[in-house]
Amino acid sequence: MEGRRRKKTRNAEGEGPDGAAERAPRRPRTPDEERDALLAYAFRALAGKALTETELRTRLARRTPDAELAELVIRRVQELGYQNDAQVARAEGQRRTVGVHRVRQTLKTRGIAPELITDTLDARDPDAEQEAATALLSRRWAAFARKRDPRASAYAFLARRGFPGGVIWAAIHAQGELPEPEDAPSFDEDLEP
């Protein structure tokens, strides 16, 4: 049977098939070593992405069964300023390419407290959101204009990004007069039976 690997087995002396001796088992970590390892993991996780407290707690729970140790690490990381739910919420709230509904859903999913979500949404400027939706739609309008129903496509596009209906319709109307589809009959002409 070519292409299949043979299972590595050890002989009676504890040597593997290549003659190497089996490794000695690791000694258990001390509580300080365990804490330091978990803290280092938390720093690595936060270096990659700004995590909420809930997300960090979930990741630490996968690393250790000791909930008290995980809580200690979270408090230490917060003391040092590496984790702050308010900063995560503020950064999400400042995203210009998504609407208020998407921001709310994202923050809820990431485990942000409801009062912090409310504060973040209240801080968003409705005029800036309208401008962002209009700018986003104007950049993509050429692609929508080629479709059979450009308004429906544009509405669906902005709705998927979390913009409310009033903002979407205002952005669509800001695109100006929409051309009629080529195959649509004109109401000025008499239709032939």
Residue 29: its pLDDT value, please? 78
Query: What total of structural domains would you count in the chain?
Result: 3
Instruction: Please indicate, yes or no, if residue 157 is contained in any of the structural domains.
Output: yes
φ, ψ (nearest 5 deg) of residue 21: -75, 155
What number of helices (H) and strands (E) belong to the chain? 9, 0
> pLDDT tens digits, residue range 74-101?
999 999 999 999 999 999 999 989 999 9
Q: What is the mean pLDDT of residues 181-192?
A: 43
Instruction: Please indicate, yes or no, if residue 160 is contained in any of the structural domains.
Output: yes
What is the widest separation between alpha-carbon atoms in the chain?
Answer: 99
Query: Do 66 and 91 belong to one domain?
Result: no
Exposure string of 30-59, with b = 16+ CB inside 10 Å and e = fewer, is: eeeeebeebbebbeebbeeebbbbebbbee
Query: Do 148 and 170 belong to one domain?
Result: yes
The DSSP 8-state label assigned to residue 180 in this structure reads P
- Would the pTM of this model clear 0.75, i.e. be above it? no
Query: Do 120 and 96 belong to one domain?
Result: yes
Full domain range(s) for residue 131 = 126-178
Residue 22: its pLDDT value, please? 66
What confidence tier does 10 reach under pLDDT thresholds 50, 70, 90? low
Q: What is the mean pLDDT of residues 15-36?
A: 74
C-alpha span between 132 and 125 (Å, rounded): 11
Estimate the share of the chain in helix, then strand, then coil, as percent rounded to the nearest 5.
60, 0, 40
Query: Do 71 and 39 belong to one domain?
Result: yes
Instruction: Please indicate, yes or no, if residue 187 is contained in any of the structural domains.
Output: no
Residue 84: its pLDDT value, please? 94
Query: Do 95 and 73 belong to one domain?
Result: no
> pLDDT tens digits, residue range 125-184?
999 999 999 999 999 999 988 999 999 999 999 999 999 999 999 999 998 754 444 544
Instruction: Please indicate, yes or no, if residue 17 is contained in any of the structural domains.
Output: no
Query: Do 105 and 139 belong to one domain?
Result: no
C-alpha span between 60 and 71 (Å, rounded): 9
Instruction: Please indicate, yes or no, if residue 75 is contained in any of the structural domains.
Output: yes
Query: Do 44 and 76 belong to one domain?
Result: yes
Q: Which residue has the tokens 């390419």?
A: 97
The DSSP 8-state label assigned to residue 15 in this structure reads B
> pLDDT tens digits, residue range 38-49?
999 999 999 988
